[in-house]
Amino acid sequence: MPGHIRGVEVAFVHSTNGQRLADWYEEVLGLPRRFGDDHWIEFAVDGTSRFAIDVTGFPRSEVEAQPLMISFTVDDLEAAVRDLAAKGVAFYPDAERTIFDVGPTRVATFRDPDGNWLQLAQRALT
């Protein structure tokens, strides 16, 4: 069976001080903002990569407590979750309820063997 992952969809950091952190990335690192609201601030990088800040509140979920998240692109989110769950991958909160709509993207969050949270992402067809 071939793998489902075909690239990195987005790398992002969780922050309770999203606007302050976004100002730092923009003013100090020189990353131009592409989009921003009270929940998600995205920066323009090279046209193929995405970097963002996910603004979190309190209480934070165990996933949001992890500072950095990498989200991998897949073509068929349901099939990827099904195949990985069959291989023993632990999804959040579980394999049956892991897929969430987040704007134009559907995501499923899971742990690697070291306990790091990662995501699978499938963009909506446009």
pLDDT in tens, 9-56: 899 999 999 999 999 999 988 899 998 898 999 998 877 778 999 998
User: Which residue(s) pair with 35 in the sheet?
Assistant: 42
126 vs 103: which has the higher pLDDT: 103
Domain extent at residue 110: 5-123
Confidence band of 1 (pLDDT split at 50, 70, 90): very low
Q: Alpha carbon 65 to chain centroid distance?
A: 13
Confidence band of 2 (pLDDT split at 50, 70, 90): low
Does the pTM surpass 0.85? The reply is no
Whole-angstrom distance, CA of residue 104 vs CA of residue 99: 13
pLDDT tens digits for 59-98? 888 888 899 999 999 999 999 999 999 999 999 999 999 9
For residues 2-14, give the mean pLDDT.
Answer: 88
DSSP code at position 125? P
Domains held by the chain: number: 1
Question: Considering the chain, what is the average pLDDT of its residues?
Answer: 89
Percent of the chain with pLDDT over 70: 96
Whole-angstrom distance, CA of residue 18 vs CA of residue 55: 5
Residues 64 and 117: beta-carbon distance below 8 Å: no
Residues 101 and 92: beta-carbon distance below 8 Å: no
Residues 14 and 60: beta-carbon distance below 8 Å: yes
From the list 72, 70, 39, the residue with the least C-alpha distance to 53 is 39
86: domain CATH number is 3.10.180.10
